[in-house]
Amino acid sequence: MARRQWTGVGTALVTPFRQDGSLDEAAITALAKRQVDAGVHFVSPCGTTGEAPTLSADEKVRIVELVVEAVAGRVPVLAGAGGYNTREVVELAHRMEKAGAQGILSVTPYYNKPTPEGMLEHFKAVSGATALPVVLYNVPGRTGVNVDVATLVKIAAACPTIVAVKEASGNMPQMVEICAHVPDGFIVLSGDDALTLPLLSVGGHGIISVASNEVPADMARMVEAAEQGDWAAARRLHTRLLPLMNINFIEANPGPAKAAMAAMGLLGEYYRLPMVPPRAASRERILAVLRNLTLVA
């Protein structure tokens, strides 16, 4: 049976840079191929974990072009196109569609804290700008505004091309309510690795994952086990991976994940300000988790 698009494990792909601050195009290509080879179900470049606020629009489009070419149709590409300026988001969504993405991940407007009515009008504009399916990204810890259940239900009803939500509120009761009240067929994804299994147990459909940058095959196996009703196997994998899920957020994401991936030899450890490398004490804890998982020697 074919997998439904935007279910399972999607990787919130990190963005590798070179020492001079430019995009590391070879590493972007290699990381995208590694994800698909390991069995993830879709990839999502240019989101929070991809350091999107530090990328120009041209760089975002280039990254998506590289990822689309790298995955070669084996899995769909969910391109990040969000922000607080609706006109710019609409234009970027147009460009991502032309770049070959199969869907748009659009974070809620941040900083200016729109009302529920403003949120609805924003997403009506975004969804109306592209023929692609749109995944709404709710992450109030970063944006300063939460999409509550009633507002999300209104957005889903008013915007048929908004087909899913990435729920990163960390509020499990809210996530349960979302699963209970969204329209039939609407996809609910976790935005927090550690909440993936709880969400799946109440009707969720998967995860847009940070940890799958490091352990894509394990994350895919965990979610597939749950989908198949093998909750014991899923719990074993969850328990094993939980220290990694947690250590990835010991400092601001994606700092720890990029440090871990650099230790694993997957990329050069370069950031763009205001992101900086993890502190020495954090780095030791990251390396200890990686050693326990035998990801580094």
- Give the residue numbers annotated as catalytic, written as ranges: 137, 166
Torsion sign over Cα 99, 165, 24, 73: negative
For 92, the token pair is 């970027």
Structure tokens at 33: 């191929």
Please give the single-letter amino acid code of residue 263.
Answer: A
Burial of 274 (0-12, 13-18, 19+ CB in 10 A): exposed
